[in-house]
Amino acid sequence: MTEIHPAQPELLAVAAAMRPGWDQRDLSGALAAAGANGWPWPRAFLAAARLLADPKATPRDLLAEVVGPLERHGTPLTHEQNARRAAEARDLLASGGAP
């Protein structure tokens, strides 16, 4: 097995190429919040990659996921976001996988 190293600058470069309309400071801040909240790099990377591939997503969706909708500064999820996350959770439970 090879060791996994954080690659935030590279992820931000990919995000800039894939989603030029995103404010890179928002994504960078969301990734920093993920690290500050104890998320390991693979989890933060996968969450960001999932959002990059979702045409309706924004970096603030990652921040909302990190902070949580019940936290003081959290942002409540929209119905669509909640439905998407519920579907993802069902898929994970069915496959026995982890985020």
Averaged over successive runs of 10 residues, the pLDDT of the chain (99 residues) comes to 92 95 91 89 93 91 75 60 80 72
Are 66 and 30 within 8 A, CB to CB? Answer: yes
> pTM here?
0.66
Asked if 24 and 16 touch (Cβ cutoff 8 Å), the reply is yes
Determine the pLDDT at residue 15.
Answer: 95
Give the integer Cα–Cα distance in Å for 25 and 5.
21
Other CB atoms within a 10 A radius of the CB of residue 16 amount to 12
User: How far is the C-alpha of 52 from the C-alpha of 87, rounded, in Å?
Assistant: 18
